[in-house]
Chains A and B, each alone.
Chain A
Amino acid sequence: AQSVAQPEDQVNVAEGNPLTVKCTYSVSGNPYLFWYVQYPNRGLQFLLKYITGDNLVKGSYGFEAEFNKSQTSFHLKKPSALVSDSALYFCAVRGVSGGSYIPTFGRGTSLIVHP
């Protein structure tokens, strides 16, 4: 079975500072990894994904994430946070093999960026 852990319910950061939102996963074989963002009363919006290749993935709005196979992690990062980045962030994983196209989502991390 595949699973995702987002160990922090909430992350607080000052505007202009770097931010990290953590994600670790468990899957049989190689993973496909995704980050989504959810603003209030909106659906989830795709940010970035890791499929294969370069471990550092760049996505929308200046976000990036680093795939670390040995640590089974896919932490989301941004060099300089904006107040408008405040939202709920979800990490998701799918196994490459096994025939299931169903992703498993983490519980989400609330990012609060203070002015």
Chain B
Amino acid sequence: GAGVSQTPSNKVTEKGKYVELRCDPISGHTALYWYRQSLGQGPEFLIYFQGTGAADDSGLPNDRFFAVRPEGSVSTLKIQRTERGDSAVYLCASSLGEGQGSNEQFFGPGTRLTVL
């Protein structure tokens, strides 16, 4: 696995439904980030994991959003009771955990979520 992978690449759902988005980071990267990107905007931070724990979840917009990383590798972003405003591209990134934040991030191709 050369890079960060995300599945599915596209997800269309109906308002009120539950969705799960998966991220598989680069092997050995302990830091994992979720972002949301809307058209014409830069990535907007959602949550950051260091290992298995969420080190910073201050970007999650509300309690409908939740993310896990149970074994310190694959992460799943979960959205309950989806709303049309949740439509966006959800990006995952990973990086080496050490380095006091000086390490660059490696991004996946994103999951485009459309809520009808």
Seen from chain A, the residues whose Cβ lies within 8 Å of a Cβ on chain B are 4, 32, 34, 36, 41-46, 49, 51, 90, 92, 94, 96, 100-108
Q: Which residues of B in the span 89-116 have a Cβ within 8 Å of any Cβ on A?
A: 91, 93, 100-102, 104-110
Q: Shortest distance in angstroms between B101's beta carbon and chain A's nearest beta carbon?
A: 4
- Are the CB atoms of B107 and A94 closer together than 8 Å? no
Q: Quick one: which of B33-90 are within 8 Å of A by CB?
A: 33, 40-45, 48, 55-56, 59
B110 contact from A32, A36, A43, A92, Cβ within 8 A: A43
What 9 pairs between A and B have smallest CB-CB spacing?
Answer: A43-B107, A105-B42, A101-B101, A46-B104, A44-B107, A43-B109, A51-B102, A105-B43, A94-B101
Decide if B107 touches A34 in the complex (CB within 8 Å): no
**A107 pairs with B104, CB closer than 8 A:** no
Contacts of A100 in B (CB 8 A): 56, 101
User: In whole Å, how far is B53's beta carbon from the nearest beta carbon of chain A?
Assistant: 13
Tell whether A101 pairs with B48 under 8 Å between CB atoms, given A42-B109, A46-B104, A49-B102.
Answer: yes
